[in-house]
Amino acid sequence: MTNNCGYTVWPGLLSGAGTAPLSTTGFALAHGASATVDAPASWSGRMWARTLCAEDATGKFTCATGDCGSGGIQCNGGGAAPPATLVEFTLDGSGGMDFFDVSLVDGYNLPMIIVPQGGGAAAPAGSGGGSGGKCMATGCLVDLNGACPADLRVMAASTGTGAAAPGGGPVACRSACEAFGSAQYCCSGAYGNPNTCRPSTYSQFFKNACPRAYSYAYDDSTSTFTCTAGTNYAITFCPSTTR
C-alpha cells in the first residue's frame, strides 16, 4: 500500500468469516509512505483508508471517514463505517484465481487503485471463469467528493471528530442506499436480485466517473477482476490521475 494523499491515512483491514487473520488490522500511513502486508493462502477480506483521524482526551481513536468502531488504530475485526472506498479480495478462489474489485457500493471517501504485479499478472483471457480472466488495474482515480450530489455529500462539520478536512469542504460521498434507505437503492426485498435492482441516477454518477468500480450491488460484469493465484497487488491511495 502506498499513500499519495497529501495527508496521513489509516488503512483498515478486515478478514472475511472463516479466513485466517492478517498480521495487522490497522495502521498509520503517512503521506508518501508505503507498507507491505502479507496475506495467507486463500485469504478473503477487504481493505480501505480511514481519514481525518484523531484521539480525544480519553485516548479514544476515531476517524471522520471509514471508522471501524474499535476506538484504536487497530480495527480488531471492525469494518468500515460507510461511506468508504473499499478494495475486496478473494485470493486463490475458484479455478485457482484471485478475484478483486474496488467497490463504491458503500459510498466513497478517496480515490484508490489496485495494480496487479508479479507472476500472475499475465493471466490468459478466459481463465477467470465468469469474470473472463481480466488481470488488470482497477479502481477509482477521480476525486468525487467535490462533485458529489448535494443529497449524498458528507461535510467535515458533520463527522464529529473535530478534525478539519484537508483544504476544507466535503470529505465523503454516501451511497443512495445509505442516504435514503430504500429497498430500490439497497437492492433488498423485492429488489434483491439482478433483474429488479437496476442502476439508478445515483449509481450512474459513480459508474460514469469510475467505470471499473462497483457502483451498486449487481454491477459484477464490469467490476470484478481476476489474476492467477500468487499475484502481488499494489494498492495506492490518491493515485495520480495523469494516466
pLDDT value for 120: 53
Q: How many residues in total does the chain contain?
A: 243
pLDDT value for 126: 38
**Nine-digit cell at 111?**
480515490
The neighbour count for residue 61, using CB atoms within 10 Å, is 19
Question: Which candidate, 2, 1, 4, 7, places its Cα nearest to that of 163?
Answer: 7
| pLDDT tens series, the chain, 243 aa | 999 999 999 999 999 998 988 999 999 999 999 999 999 989 999 999 999 999 999 999 999 999 999 999 999 999 999 999 999 999 999 999 999 999 999 999 999 999 999 755 444 433 333 334 589 999 999 999 999 999 999 998 555 544 445 556 899 999 999 999 999 999 999 999 988 989 899 989 999 999 999 988 888 778 899 999 999 999 999 997 543
Q: Are 65 and 184 in contact (CB under 8 A)?
A: no
- Burial bucket for residue 8 (CB in 10 Å: 0-12, 13-18, 19+): middle
Cα–Cα distance, 85 to 195 (Å, whole number): 26
- Global pTM reads 0.88
Cis, bond preceding 83 (omega within 30 deg of 0) = yes
pLDDT value for 15: 96
Q: Letter for the amino acid at 196?
A: T
Q: Which residues sit opposite 225 in a β-bridge?
A: 100
Q: Which residues of 12-25 are buried (b: 16+ CB within 10 A; e: fewer)?
A: bbbbeeebeebeeb
Cα–Cα distance, 122 to 144 (Å, whole number): 31
Residue with cell 469494518: 79
pLDDT value for 222: 82
Cα–Cα distance, 45 to 17 (Å, whole number): 8
pLDDT value for 162: 46
Direct distance between the N- and C-terminal alpha carbons of the chain, in angstroms, rounded to an integer: 19
pLDDT value for 141: 93
**Nine-digit cell at 16?**
472475511
Cα–Cα distance, 164 to 49 (Å, whole number): 17
**Nine-digit cell at 144?**
468525487
Q: Are 40 and 20 in contact (CB under 8 A)?
A: yes
How big, in percent rounded to 5, are the helix, strand and coil portions of the chain?
Answer: 15, 30, 55
